[in-house]
Structure 1
Amino acid sequence: MSQAPLTTGICGLVQLDRRVECPSAAWALASAVFLSSVHTFSSAREAEAKPPEAQASERDSKSPFVYDELQEGIKRRMLSQQRLIEYLRAKSIEVDKIRAEYEAAGGQNSPNVTAHLRFNQNMTALEKQVNYDTQIILYNVNVRGARDRYMELYGCVRPSDAALETIASFSPLIEIGAGKGHWQRKLSDMGADVLAFDTDESVPRATAPNVMQGDVKLGDERQIRKHRNRALFICYPEGEMANKCLDKYSGEYLLYVGEGRGGVNANDAFFDMLERDWVCEKIVEVRPFPECFEKLYVMRRRNYRQGVRWWQWWR
Protein backbone atom coordinates (compact mmCIF):
# COMPACT_ATOMS: atom_id res chain seq x y z
CA MET A 1 0.00 0.00 0.00
CA SER A 2 1.37 3.39 -0.95
CA GLN A 3 1.17 6.63 0.97
CA ALA A 4 0.74 10.27 0.00
CA PRO A 5 1.27 13.41 2.06
CA LEU A 6 -1.65 14.82 4.02
CA THR A 7 -2.61 18.28 2.80
CA THR A 8 -3.02 21.02 5.40
CA GLY A 9 -4.32 24.55 5.65
CA ILE A 10 -7.37 26.12 4.03
CA CYS A 11 -7.13 24.42 0.64
CA GLY A 12 -6.19 21.11 2.21
CA LEU A 13 -9.24 21.11 4.47
CA VAL A 14 -11.51 21.87 1.53
CA GLN A 15 -9.99 18.97 -0.43
CA LEU A 16 -10.34 16.61 2.51
CA ASP A 17 -13.97 17.64 3.02
CA ARG A 18 -14.69 16.75 -0.62
CA ARG A 19 -12.74 13.49 -0.66
CA VAL A 20 -14.17 11.94 2.50
CA GLU A 21 -17.54 13.73 2.26
CA CYS A 22 -17.24 15.27 5.72
CA PRO A 23 -19.63 18.11 6.63
CA SER A 24 -17.08 20.05 8.65
CA ALA A 25 -13.37 20.64 9.02
CA ALA A 26 -13.52 18.86 12.36
CA TRP A 27 -14.54 15.57 10.86
CA ALA A 28 -12.22 16.10 7.91
CA LEU A 29 -9.33 16.14 10.36
CA ALA A 30 -10.72 13.12 12.19
CA SER A 31 -11.09 11.18 8.94
CA ALA A 32 -7.58 12.12 7.85
CA VAL A 33 -6.13 10.75 11.07
CA PHE A 34 -8.08 7.51 10.67
CA LEU A 35 -6.87 7.11 7.09
CA SER A 36 -3.27 7.76 8.07
CA SER A 37 -3.40 5.14 10.84
CA VAL A 38 -2.84 1.94 8.91
CA HIS A 39 -3.46 -0.32 11.88
CA THR A 40 -6.99 0.79 12.72
CA PHE A 41 -9.81 -1.46 11.58
CA SER A 42 -12.08 -0.23 8.82
CA SER A 43 -15.65 0.45 9.94
CA ALA A 44 -16.96 -2.32 7.70
CA ARG A 45 -14.54 -4.89 9.08
CA GLU A 46 -15.18 -3.77 12.65
CA ALA A 47 -18.92 -4.23 12.17
CA GLU A 48 -18.40 -7.79 10.94
CA ALA A 49 -15.70 -8.71 13.44
CA LYS A 50 -16.31 -11.17 16.23
CA PRO A 51 -14.53 -11.02 19.59
CA PRO A 52 -11.01 -12.54 19.34
CA GLU A 53 -12.01 -15.38 21.68
CA ALA A 54 -14.86 -16.40 19.37
CA GLN A 55 -12.65 -16.15 16.29
CA ALA A 56 -9.98 -18.40 17.78
CA SER A 57 -12.48 -20.98 19.05
CA GLU A 58 -13.92 -21.44 15.56
CA ARG A 59 -10.61 -22.32 13.91
CA ASP A 60 -8.04 -25.02 14.06
CA SER A 61 -5.62 -24.19 16.85
CA LYS A 62 -2.81 -25.49 14.63
CA SER A 63 -3.36 -22.80 12.01
CA PRO A 64 -0.16 -20.79 11.44
CA PHE A 65 -2.35 -17.71 10.98
CA VAL A 66 -3.80 -17.79 14.50
CA TYR A 67 -1.20 -16.99 17.14
CA ASP A 68 -1.36 -15.63 20.68
CA GLU A 69 0.75 -12.55 19.97
CA LEU A 70 -1.72 -11.33 17.35
CA GLN A 71 -4.84 -12.33 19.28
CA GLU A 72 -3.70 -10.37 22.33
CA GLY A 73 -2.77 -7.47 20.06
CA ILE A 74 -6.25 -7.42 18.54
CA LYS A 75 -7.78 -7.06 22.00
CA ARG A 76 -5.53 -4.08 22.71
CA ARG A 77 -6.36 -2.55 19.32
CA MET A 78 -10.07 -2.66 19.98
CA LEU A 79 -9.53 -0.74 23.20
CA SER A 80 -7.12 1.68 21.51
CA GLN A 81 -9.55 2.35 18.70
CA GLN A 82 -12.27 3.28 21.18
CA ARG A 83 -9.84 5.61 22.93
CA LEU A 84 -8.95 7.18 19.59
CA ILE A 85 -12.61 7.77 18.72
CA GLU A 86 -13.16 9.52 22.05
CA TYR A 87 -9.98 11.56 21.61
CA LEU A 88 -10.94 12.71 18.10
CA ARG A 89 -14.38 13.74 19.27
CA ALA A 90 -12.75 15.99 21.85
CA LYS A 91 -10.28 17.40 19.33
CA SER A 92 -13.07 18.13 16.85
CA ILE A 93 -14.31 20.78 19.27
CA GLU A 94 -10.92 22.51 19.04
CA VAL A 95 -11.06 22.38 15.23
CA ASP A 96 -14.52 23.94 15.21
CA LYS A 97 -13.31 26.68 17.56
CA ILE A 98 -10.34 27.51 15.30
CA ARG A 99 -12.58 27.57 12.26
CA ALA A 100 -15.17 29.75 14.00
CA GLU A 101 -12.49 32.31 14.86
CA TYR A 102 -11.33 32.26 11.26
CA GLU A 103 -14.84 32.75 9.89
CA ALA A 104 -15.40 35.60 12.34
CA ALA A 105 -12.32 37.29 10.87
CA GLY A 106 -13.77 37.05 7.37
CA GLY A 107 -12.90 33.49 6.42
CA GLN A 108 -11.35 32.47 3.13
CA ASN A 109 -12.47 35.64 1.35
CA SER A 110 -11.03 37.95 3.98
CA PRO A 111 -8.30 40.39 2.88
CA ASN A 112 -6.76 39.98 6.34
CA VAL A 113 -3.49 38.16 5.67
CA THR A 114 -2.84 37.77 9.38
CA ALA A 115 -6.11 35.87 9.81
CA HIS A 116 -5.14 33.41 7.06
CA LEU A 117 -1.69 32.92 8.53
CA ARG A 118 -3.03 32.41 12.05
CA PHE A 119 -5.61 29.88 10.85
CA ASN A 120 -2.99 27.83 9.00
CA GLN A 121 -0.59 27.96 11.94
CA ASN A 122 -3.28 26.86 14.39
CA MET A 123 -4.47 24.02 12.18
CA THR A 124 -0.94 22.83 11.45
CA ALA A 125 -0.05 22.82 15.14
CA LEU A 126 -3.23 20.95 16.02
CA GLU A 127 -2.66 18.41 13.24
CA LYS A 128 0.86 17.70 14.48
CA GLN A 129 -0.44 17.21 18.01
CA VAL A 130 -3.24 14.92 16.84
CA ASN A 131 -0.83 12.79 14.80
CA TYR A 132 1.54 12.52 17.77
CA ASP A 133 -1.23 11.61 20.20
CA THR A 134 -2.68 9.13 17.71
CA GLN A 135 0.68 7.39 17.46
CA ILE A 136 0.80 7.06 21.25
CA ILE A 137 -2.77 5.76 21.46
CA LEU A 138 -2.39 3.17 18.68
CA TYR A 139 1.25 2.10 19.02
CA ASN A 140 2.32 3.22 22.51
CA VAL A 141 5.33 5.00 20.96
CA ASN A 142 6.06 8.50 22.26
CA VAL A 143 8.88 9.44 19.89
CA ARG A 144 7.41 12.17 17.70
CA GLY A 145 7.14 11.14 14.04
CA ALA A 146 8.37 7.58 14.66
CA ARG A 147 5.63 5.90 12.63
CA ASP A 148 6.10 8.24 9.67
CA ARG A 149 9.87 7.73 9.67
CA TYR A 150 9.41 3.97 9.83
CA MET A 151 7.12 4.01 6.79
CA GLU A 152 9.36 6.40 4.87
CA LEU A 153 12.32 4.06 5.38
CA TYR A 154 10.68 0.64 5.11
CA GLY A 155 7.09 0.92 3.88
CA CYS A 156 4.36 -0.78 5.89
CA VAL A 157 6.66 -3.59 7.10
CA ARG A 158 10.39 -3.53 7.78
CA PRO A 159 12.11 -6.63 6.39
CA SER A 160 14.62 -8.73 8.27
CA ASP A 161 17.75 -10.06 6.58
CA ALA A 162 16.39 -13.59 6.95
CA ALA A 163 13.11 -12.62 5.27
CA LEU A 164 14.89 -10.97 2.34
CA GLU A 165 17.19 -13.97 1.88
CA THR A 166 14.24 -16.35 1.96
CA ILE A 167 12.20 -14.39 -0.58
CA ALA A 168 15.20 -13.84 -2.86
CA SER A 169 15.76 -17.61 -3.00
CA PHE A 170 12.48 -17.92 -4.95
CA SER A 171 13.57 -15.51 -7.70
CA PRO A 172 12.27 -14.71 -10.29
CA LEU A 173 9.40 -12.98 -8.48
CA ILE A 174 6.34 -10.89 -9.22
CA GLU A 175 5.22 -8.51 -6.48
CA ILE A 176 1.68 -7.11 -6.50
CA GLY A 177 0.79 -4.12 -4.33
CA ALA A 178 4.43 -3.07 -4.08
CA GLY A 179 3.71 0.46 -2.85
CA LYS A 180 6.77 2.65 -3.26
CA GLY A 181 9.03 -0.33 -3.87
CA HIS A 182 10.88 -0.64 -0.56
CA TRP A 183 11.02 -4.45 -0.69
CA GLN A 184 11.60 -4.52 -4.45
CA ARG A 185 14.67 -2.32 -4.09
CA LYS A 186 16.20 -4.38 -1.28
CA LEU A 187 15.53 -7.67 -3.05
CA SER A 188 16.97 -6.35 -6.31
CA ASP A 189 20.07 -5.11 -4.48
CA MET A 190 20.58 -8.72 -3.36
CA GLY A 191 20.46 -9.90 -6.97
CA ALA A 192 16.85 -11.11 -7.07
CA ASP A 193 14.80 -10.63 -10.24
CA VAL A 194 11.63 -8.81 -9.09
CA LEU A 195 8.88 -7.39 -11.27
CA ALA A 196 6.87 -5.07 -8.99
CA PHE A 197 3.43 -3.57 -9.67
CA ASP A 198 1.09 -1.25 -7.83
CA THR A 199 -2.12 0.62 -8.69
CA ASP A 200 -0.71 3.79 -7.08
CA GLU A 201 -3.75 4.18 -4.85
CA SER A 202 -2.68 6.34 -1.94
CA VAL A 203 -3.64 6.74 1.70
CA PRO A 204 -3.18 10.25 3.17
CA ARG A 205 -0.44 10.48 5.77
CA ALA A 206 0.93 13.26 7.86
CA THR A 207 4.41 14.03 6.59
CA ALA A 208 5.86 11.30 4.38
CA PRO A 209 6.91 12.49 0.93
CA ASN A 210 5.47 10.71 -2.08
CA VAL A 211 8.89 9.39 -3.17
CA MET A 212 9.39 6.16 -5.10
CA GLN A 213 11.97 3.87 -3.51
CA GLY A 214 12.17 1.07 -6.06
CA ASP A 215 11.22 0.17 -9.63
CA VAL A 216 7.44 -0.20 -9.49
CA LYS A 217 5.28 -0.31 -12.60
CA LEU A 218 1.59 0.51 -12.84
CA GLY A 219 -0.51 -2.64 -12.64
CA ASP A 220 -2.61 -4.96 -10.49
CA GLU A 221 -3.22 -8.70 -10.07
CA ARG A 222 -3.96 -9.07 -13.79
CA GLN A 223 -0.21 -8.87 -14.38
CA ILE A 224 0.22 -12.28 -12.72
CA ARG A 225 -1.05 -14.24 -15.71
CA LYS A 226 1.42 -12.42 -17.96
CA HIS A 227 4.36 -13.68 -15.89
CA ARG A 228 3.46 -17.27 -15.03
CA ASN A 229 7.06 -18.34 -14.46
CA ARG A 230 7.47 -16.07 -11.41
CA ALA A 231 6.75 -16.84 -7.77
CA LEU A 232 4.14 -14.53 -6.25
CA PHE A 233 5.12 -12.12 -3.48
CA ILE A 234 2.53 -9.96 -1.71
CA CYS A 235 3.34 -7.69 1.21
CA TYR A 236 0.74 -6.06 3.44
CA PRO A 237 -2.33 -6.67 1.23
CA GLU A 238 -5.59 -5.08 2.28
CA GLY A 239 -9.18 -6.10 1.65
CA GLU A 240 -9.76 -8.47 -1.27
CA MET A 241 -6.50 -7.75 -3.09
CA ALA A 242 -4.84 -10.92 -1.76
CA ASN A 243 -7.83 -13.04 -2.82
CA LYS A 244 -7.68 -11.60 -6.34
CA CYS A 245 -3.98 -12.42 -6.54
CA LEU A 246 -4.53 -16.04 -5.54
CA ASP A 247 -7.35 -16.32 -8.05
CA LYS A 248 -4.97 -15.34 -10.87
CA TYR A 249 -1.94 -17.28 -9.67
CA SER A 250 -1.19 -20.84 -10.79
CA GLY A 251 2.34 -21.22 -9.43
CA GLU A 252 3.66 -23.47 -6.69
CA TYR A 253 4.95 -20.99 -4.10
CA LEU A 254 3.45 -17.91 -2.47
CA LEU A 255 5.45 -15.49 -0.32
CA TYR A 256 3.08 -13.59 1.96
CA VAL A 257 4.12 -10.86 4.41
CA GLY A 258 1.41 -9.66 6.75
CA GLU A 259 -0.60 -10.38 9.84
CA GLY A 260 -2.66 -13.52 10.38
CA ARG A 261 -6.39 -13.95 10.81
CA GLY A 262 -8.20 -11.04 12.36
CA GLY A 263 -5.32 -8.66 11.68
CA VAL A 264 -5.24 -5.72 9.31
CA ASN A 265 -4.24 -7.70 6.21
CA ALA A 266 -6.40 -9.61 3.71
CA ASN A 267 -9.61 -11.23 5.01
CA ASP A 268 -10.94 -14.53 6.33
CA ALA A 269 -11.67 -15.82 2.82
CA PHE A 270 -7.98 -15.44 1.95
CA PHE A 271 -6.86 -17.41 4.99
CA ASP A 272 -9.54 -20.03 4.31
CA MET A 273 -8.02 -20.56 0.85
CA LEU A 274 -4.51 -20.79 2.26
CA GLU A 275 -5.48 -23.34 4.90
CA ARG A 276 -7.44 -25.42 2.39
CA ASP A 277 -5.19 -25.32 -0.68
CA TRP A 278 -1.72 -24.50 0.64
CA VAL A 279 0.87 -25.81 3.09
CA CYS A 280 2.91 -23.44 5.25
CA GLU A 281 6.50 -24.57 4.80
CA LYS A 282 8.22 -21.82 6.75
CA ILE A 283 7.53 -18.76 8.90
CA VAL A 284 10.21 -16.07 9.09
CA GLU A 285 10.21 -13.16 11.50
CA VAL A 286 10.30 -9.62 10.13
CA ARG A 287 10.79 -6.35 12.04
CA PRO A 288 7.34 -4.86 12.61
CA PHE A 289 6.54 -1.55 14.24
CA PRO A 290 5.36 -1.78 17.89
CA GLU A 291 1.85 -3.22 18.23
CA CYS A 292 2.12 -4.71 14.73
CA PHE A 293 2.42 -8.47 14.17
CA GLU A 294 3.47 -9.21 10.59
CA LYS A 295 5.41 -12.32 9.58
CA LEU A 296 6.70 -13.84 6.35
CA TYR A 297 4.87 -17.01 5.36
CA VAL A 298 6.32 -19.34 2.73
CA MET A 299 3.35 -21.22 1.29
CA ARG A 300 3.45 -24.20 -1.11
CA ARG A 301 0.39 -25.26 -3.09
CA ARG A 302 -1.00 -28.69 -2.23
CA ASN A 303 -0.94 -31.27 -5.04
CA TYR A 304 0.86 -28.86 -7.34
CA ARG A 305 1.19 -29.87 -10.98
CA GLN A 306 3.49 -28.07 -13.38
CA GLY A 307 1.62 -25.83 -15.80
CA VAL A 308 -1.55 -23.80 -15.69
CA ARG A 309 -4.63 -25.24 -14.03
CA TRP A 310 -7.22 -25.94 -16.71
CA TRP A 311 -9.98 -23.83 -15.10
CA GLN A 312 -7.78 -20.72 -15.19
CA TRP A 313 -7.42 -20.52 -18.95
CA TRP A 314 -10.60 -18.50 -19.33
CA ARG A 315 -9.82 -15.96 -16.59
Structure 2
Amino acid sequence: MPYDALDDRRMVLTKKYAWAIPNDTALSAIRSQTPLIEIGAGKGYWASLLDVDIICYDIAPDGNRWCDPGYYYPVAKGGPEQILAHPDRTLMLCWPPYNNSMASECLKVYTGNVLIYIGEGGGGCTGDSDFWNLIQESWEEEDYLVLPQWCGLHDGLYIFKRDA
Protein backbone atom coordinates (compact mmCIF):
# COMPACT_ATOMS: atom_id res chain seq x y z
CA MET A 1 0.00 0.00 0.00
CA PRO A 2 1.48 3.41 -0.91
CA TYR A 3 2.62 5.60 1.98
CA ASP A 4 0.01 8.31 1.22
CA ALA A 5 -2.78 5.76 1.49
CA LEU A 6 -1.36 4.51 4.81
CA ASP A 7 -1.11 8.07 6.10
CA ASP A 8 -4.72 8.75 5.09
CA ARG A 9 -5.82 5.59 6.89
CA ARG A 10 -3.79 6.57 9.96
CA MET A 11 -5.49 9.98 10.08
CA VAL A 12 -8.96 8.42 9.92
CA LEU A 13 -8.18 5.95 12.69
CA THR A 14 -6.34 8.38 14.98
CA LYS A 15 -9.26 10.80 14.79
CA LYS A 16 -11.67 7.97 15.55
CA TYR A 17 -9.71 6.27 18.37
CA ALA A 18 -6.37 7.66 19.59
CA TRP A 19 -2.95 8.67 18.31
CA ALA A 20 -1.19 5.73 19.96
CA ILE A 21 -2.09 2.08 19.48
CA PRO A 22 -2.56 0.25 22.80
CA ASN A 23 -1.69 -3.36 23.52
CA ASP A 24 -2.28 -5.65 26.51
CA THR A 25 1.25 -5.25 27.89
CA ALA A 26 0.97 -1.45 27.93
CA LEU A 27 -2.49 -1.52 29.48
CA SER A 28 -1.27 -3.86 32.25
CA ALA A 29 1.68 -1.58 33.01
CA ILE A 30 -0.62 1.43 33.29
CA ARG A 31 -3.11 -0.44 35.49
CA SER A 32 -0.36 -0.98 38.07
CA GLN A 33 -0.06 2.80 38.61
CA THR A 34 -3.65 3.72 39.58
CA PRO A 35 -5.45 5.94 40.41
CA LEU A 36 -4.81 8.08 37.30
CA ILE A 37 -5.46 11.50 35.83
CA GLU A 38 -5.13 11.87 32.07
CA ILE A 39 -4.65 15.30 30.53
CA GLY A 40 -5.18 15.55 26.78
CA ALA A 41 -7.42 12.48 26.83
CA GLY A 42 -9.14 13.16 23.50
CA LYS A 43 -12.01 10.70 23.19
CA GLY A 44 -10.98 8.68 26.27
CA TYR A 45 -10.13 5.60 24.20
CA TRP A 46 -7.20 4.41 26.32
CA ALA A 47 -9.17 5.09 29.53
CA SER A 48 -12.04 2.94 28.26
CA LEU A 49 -9.68 0.00 27.75
CA LEU A 50 -8.02 0.37 31.14
CA ASP A 51 -11.15 -0.14 33.24
CA VAL A 52 -9.53 1.52 36.30
CA ASP A 53 -10.00 4.60 38.48
CA ILE A 54 -9.11 7.35 35.99
CA ILE A 55 -10.26 10.95 35.54
CA CYS A 56 -9.89 12.34 32.01
CA TYR A 57 -9.58 15.93 30.79
CA ASP A 58 -9.11 17.56 27.40
CA ILE A 59 -9.23 21.24 26.39
CA ALA A 60 -11.62 20.35 23.54
CA PRO A 61 -13.58 17.31 24.71
CA ASP A 62 -16.27 17.81 22.07
CA GLY A 63 -13.82 17.26 19.21
CA ASN A 64 -11.35 19.33 17.22
CA ARG A 65 -9.37 18.95 14.01
CA TRP A 66 -7.38 16.08 15.56
CA CYS A 67 -10.23 14.25 17.25
CA ASP A 68 -13.75 13.42 16.08
CA PRO A 69 -16.66 14.19 18.43
CA GLY A 70 -17.92 11.44 20.72
CA TYR A 71 -16.43 9.53 23.63
CA TYR A 72 -15.35 6.07 24.66
CA TYR A 73 -15.05 7.24 28.28
CA PRO A 74 -16.20 10.43 30.07
CA VAL A 75 -13.84 13.34 29.33
CA ALA A 76 -14.30 16.68 31.10
CA LYS A 77 -13.13 20.04 29.79
CA GLY A 78 -9.80 21.05 31.30
CA GLY A 79 -6.06 21.11 30.97
CA PRO A 80 -2.96 21.07 33.19
CA GLU A 81 -4.66 23.17 35.89
CA GLN A 82 -6.85 20.17 36.74
CA ILE A 83 -3.83 18.29 38.10
CA LEU A 84 -3.85 20.51 41.19
CA ALA A 85 -7.27 19.16 42.20
CA HIS A 86 -6.03 15.54 42.05
CA PRO A 87 -2.61 15.41 43.77
CA ASP A 88 -3.02 11.73 44.72
CA ARG A 89 -3.26 10.51 41.11
CA THR A 90 -0.58 9.34 38.70
CA LEU A 91 -0.32 11.61 35.65
CA MET A 92 -0.85 10.03 32.24
CA LEU A 93 -0.09 11.86 29.00
CA CYS A 94 -0.88 10.15 25.70
CA TRP A 95 0.54 11.85 22.62
CA PRO A 96 0.72 15.39 23.99
CA PRO A 97 0.62 17.87 21.09
CA TYR A 98 3.89 18.49 19.27
CA ASN A 99 5.66 21.77 19.97
CA ASN A 100 2.91 22.76 22.40
CA SER A 101 3.40 23.59 26.08
CA MET A 102 0.64 21.31 27.39
CA ALA A 103 2.99 18.50 28.48
CA SER A 104 5.55 20.83 30.07
CA GLU A 105 2.78 22.77 31.85
CA CYS A 106 1.52 19.48 33.26
CA LEU A 107 4.94 18.60 34.66
CA LYS A 108 5.35 22.05 36.20
CA VAL A 109 2.22 21.62 38.35
CA TYR A 110 2.38 17.86 38.95
CA THR A 111 3.68 16.91 42.40
CA GLY A 112 3.41 13.12 42.08
CA ASN A 113 6.30 10.71 41.66
CA VAL A 114 5.20 8.64 38.64
CA LEU A 115 4.55 9.82 35.09
CA ILE A 116 3.05 7.64 32.39
CA TYR A 117 3.97 9.08 29.01
CA ILE A 118 2.87 7.64 25.69
CA GLY A 119 4.53 9.19 22.67
CA GLU A 120 7.83 9.61 20.90
CA GLY A 121 11.08 10.27 22.71
CA GLY A 122 12.90 13.59 22.89
CA GLY A 123 13.10 15.25 19.48
CA GLY A 124 10.07 13.30 18.27
CA CYS A 125 6.64 14.55 17.29
CA THR A 126 5.09 14.72 20.77
CA GLY A 127 5.57 17.27 23.54
CA ASP A 128 7.91 20.24 23.40
CA SER A 129 11.56 20.90 24.24
CA ASP A 130 10.65 22.29 27.69
CA PHE A 131 8.92 18.99 28.50
CA TRP A 132 12.01 17.00 27.60
CA ASN A 133 14.27 19.41 29.52
CA LEU A 134 12.08 18.89 32.61
CA ILE A 135 12.25 15.11 32.12
CA GLN A 136 16.06 15.23 31.93
CA GLU A 137 16.30 17.47 35.01
CA SER A 138 13.97 15.65 37.39
CA TRP A 139 12.87 12.25 36.11
CA GLU A 140 14.35 8.78 35.62
CA GLU A 141 13.04 6.34 33.02
CA GLU A 142 11.89 3.26 34.91
CA ASP A 143 10.34 1.33 32.05
CA TYR A 144 9.85 1.55 28.30
CA LEU A 145 7.43 -0.61 26.34
CA VAL A 146 7.28 -0.81 22.57
CA LEU A 147 3.79 -0.20 21.18
CA PRO A 148 2.35 -1.16 17.81
CA GLN A 149 3.38 1.73 15.56
CA TRP A 150 2.36 3.42 12.38
CA CYS A 151 4.95 3.50 9.61
CA GLY A 152 7.52 6.21 10.28
CA LEU A 153 6.55 6.77 13.93
CA HIS A 154 8.53 5.69 16.97
CA ASP A 155 6.18 5.98 19.91
CA GLY A 156 6.16 3.87 23.03
CA LEU A 157 5.02 3.82 26.63
CA TYR A 158 7.43 5.35 29.13
CA ILE A 159 7.08 5.13 32.88
CA PHE A 160 9.14 7.80 34.60
CA LYS A 161 9.88 8.11 38.33
CA ARG A 162 10.70 11.47 39.87
CA ASP A 163 14.34 11.75 41.00
CA ALA A 164 14.74 11.54 44.77
Q: What TM-score does the superposition give when structure 2 sets the normalisation length?
A: 0.89
Match of 2:82 among 213, 223, 232: 223
Question: Cα offset for 1:211?
Answer: 2.1
Match of 2:9 among 146, 154, 161: 146
Q: Which residue of 2 aligns with 1:291?
A: 152
Q: How does 1:166-315 map to 2 (within 5 A)?
A: 166-188=29-51, 192-200=52-60, 202-204=63-65, 209-238=68-97, 239-303=100-164
Q: What TM-score does the superposition give when structure 1 sets the normalisation length?
A: 0.48
8 Å CA contact 2:16, 2:68 repeated in 1: no
Query: Structure 1 unaligned runs (5+)?
Result: 1-134, 304-315
8 Å CA contact 1:178, 1:196 repeated in 2: yes
Structure 1 residues 300 and 178, CA gap change in structure 2 (3 angstroms): same
8 Å CA contact 1:160, 1:285 repeated in 2: no
CA RMSD, Structure 1 to Structure 2 (Å): 2.1
Structure 1 residues 277 and 186, CA gap change in structure 2 (3 angstroms): same
8 Å CA contact 2:118, 2:157 repeated in 1: yes
Task: Tell me which protein shows more strand as a share of its residues.
Answer: 2
Query: Structure 2 unaligned runs (5+)?
Result: none
Q: Deviations over 1:236-262 (max 9, x none)?
A: 112110010001100010000011122
| Aligned length, in residue pairs | 161
The percentage of aligned residue pairs carrying the same residue is 31
Q: How does 1:33-112 map to 2 (within 5 A)?
A: none
Q: Deviations over 1:1-47 (max 9, x none)?
A: xxxxxxxxxxxxxxxxxxxxxxxxxxxxxxxxxxxxxxxxxxxxxxx
8 Å CA contact 2:83, 2:109 repeated in 1: yes
Question: Rg larger in 1 or in 2?
Answer: 1
Counterpart CA distance in 2 for 1:155 and 1:257 is 11
Structure 1 residues 186 and 250, CA gap change in structure 2 (3 angstroms): same
